[in-house]
């Protein structure tokens, strides 16, 4: 399943690199809204954020935020990997957005690792519980 085919909307907040005092550390953060069923489709809203942790003051700054909304026909969800593809696509989308801006403005090189399916086990279990409750 190609998750990109089921992505119906992307919300992207502008890139913002604040000046910080001392050292900083990057981290990415995933926020997932509870899945819902609308007209026979599973709707997933996955927000990926690139954060900069200002280590001296212990303050997090949001650098880039991208929300991907997917609508997948229930009959096309065959296995756990179908759902994982959406989480993976959301991670790749954040990387693509950052690299697009990086091509226009001088920015540091940042790697965006794609978390494994095990990282989303609880969320995927919840989705299958929701789907099984429809029967």
Q: What is the pLDDT of residues 67-120, one digit of tens each?
A: 999 999 999 999 999 999 999 999 999 999 999 888 888 888 888 889 999 999
Burial 8-44 (b: 16+ CB within 10 A, else e): eeeeeeebeeeeeeeebeeebebebeebeeeeebbbb
Q: How far apart are CA 33 and CA 47, in angstroms?
A: 8
What confidence score (pLDDT) does residue 105 get? 82
What does residue 50 show for φ and ψ, rounded to 5 degrees? -100, 120
Rounded to two decimals, what is the model's pTM? 0.89
CATH of 3-133 among 3.10.420, 1.10.10, 3.30.300, 2.60.40:
3.10.420
Q: Where are the domains of the chain?
A: 3-133
Q: Average of pLDDT values for 37-62?
A: 92
DSSP element (H, E) containing 68? strand 59-73
First to last CA, the chain: 23
């Amino acid at each position: 399943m190609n998750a990109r085919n089921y992505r119906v909307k992307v919300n992207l907040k502008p890139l913002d690199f604040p000046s910080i005092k001392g050292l900083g550390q990057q981290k990415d953060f995933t926020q997932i809204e509870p899945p819902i069923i609308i007209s026979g489709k599973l709707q997933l809203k996955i927000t990926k954020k690139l954060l900069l942790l200002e280590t001296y003051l212990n303050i997090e700054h949001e650098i880039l935020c991208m929300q991907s909304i997917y609508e997948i026909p229930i009959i096309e969800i065959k296995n756990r990997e179908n759902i994982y593809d959406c989480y993976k696509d959301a991670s790749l989308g954040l990387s693509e957005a950052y690299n697009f801006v990086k091509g226009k403005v001088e920015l540091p090189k940042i790697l965006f690792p794609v978390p494994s399916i095990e990282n989303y086990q609880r969320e995927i279990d919840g989705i299958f519980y929701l789907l099984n409750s429809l029967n």
